[in-house]
Amino acid sequence: MARTGFMRAVLFAVGFVAGLATPAQAEDATASGLKITAPWARATPKGASVGGGYMKITNTGSAAERLIGGVSDIASRFEIHEMSMDNGVMKMRSLSGGIEIKPGQTVEFSPSGYHVMLVGLNRQLMQGDHFKATLEFARAGKVEVDFIVESIGANSSGAKSPGDREMPGMQMKH
Ligand SMILES: [Cu+2]
């Protein structure tokens, strides 16, 4: 019993120190009728021209909202994409009309679903970095967010061990 408690204390201390050593933490952002939770991006391989950004967007207001686009200094284009299965192959398409978020709804962006596609990266995204972006909503207008860069195989912000591999059939079409 005492030993378990001791190990817990050690693990807690290790986790605490690891947390302090992390240069940047995912930060939430709020705006009129919106909450944006833990924006993060995947690290990119050297020379990659595109990167993916993820977050959760909750509509805390009483009217439907729509994410219609955004901008970031790190890429020439900031697009909203969706991954979907097409004949057993993961494909992505650009959602030119953006994404609607109904009142009370949370839309989750993830490596296997909706995502922000940073097209024309002007630098490599390195784990631990972060970068600013401006999201644009139909009602709330511009909302500043800060994306933290997680590992290249991360599935969520703060993931300690990369749990997945790239889908072998994934096709990146831009
Ligand atoms: Cu994409």
The pLDDT of residue 165 is above 70: no
Task: Please tell me the predicted confidence (pLDDT) of residue 83.
Answer: 92
Output 9 or 88, whichever has higher pLDDT. Answer: 88
Whether 139 maps to a domain, the answer reads yes
Task: Tell how strand 89-94 and strand 75-86 pair up.
Answer: antiparallel
List pLDDT tens digits, range 61-108.
999 999 999 999 999 999 999 998 888 998 999 999 999 999 999 999
Whether 163 maps to a domain, the answer reads no
The pLDDT of residue 22 is above 70: no
The pLDDT of residue 167 is above 60: no
Whether 133 maps to a domain, the answer reads yes
C-alpha dist (Å) from residue 60 to 18, 34, 93, 105, 141: 33, 5, 27, 8, 15
Task: State the distance from the centre of ligand 1 to the C-alpha of 81, rounded, in angstroms.
Answer: 5
Whether 6 maps to a domain, the answer reads no
Whether 169 maps to a domain, the answer reads no
Whether 99 maps to a domain, the answer reads yes
List pLDDT tens digits, range 135-161.
999 999 999 999 999 999 888 887 544
The total number of structural domains in the chain stands at 1
* CATH number, domain with residue 117: 2.60.40.1890
Task: State the distance from the centre of ligand 1 to the C-alpha of 57, rounded, in angstroms.
Answer: 18
Instruction: With H, G, I as helix, E, B as strand and everything else as coil, classify residue 5.
Output: helix
Whether 32 maps to a domain, the answer reads yes
Task: State the distance from the centre of ligand 1 to the C-alpha of 66, rounded, in angstroms.
Answer: 18
Per mean pLDDT, which range of 17-21, 41-45, 77-81, 109-113 is the poorest? 17-21
Whether 36 maps to a domain, the answer reads yes
Task: State the distance from the centre of ligand 1 to the C-alpha of 118, rounded, in angstroms.
Answer: 8
Please state, for a pLDDT cut of 90, what percent of the chain lies above it.
Answer: 65
User: How high is the mean pLDDT of the chain?
Assistant: 84
Task: State the distance from the centre of ligand 1 to the C-alpha of 143, rounded, in angstroms.
Answer: 21
Structural Rg of the chain based on CA atoms:
18
Q: Tokens 């204390």 — which residue?
A: 9
Domain with 129, as residue range(s), is 25-155
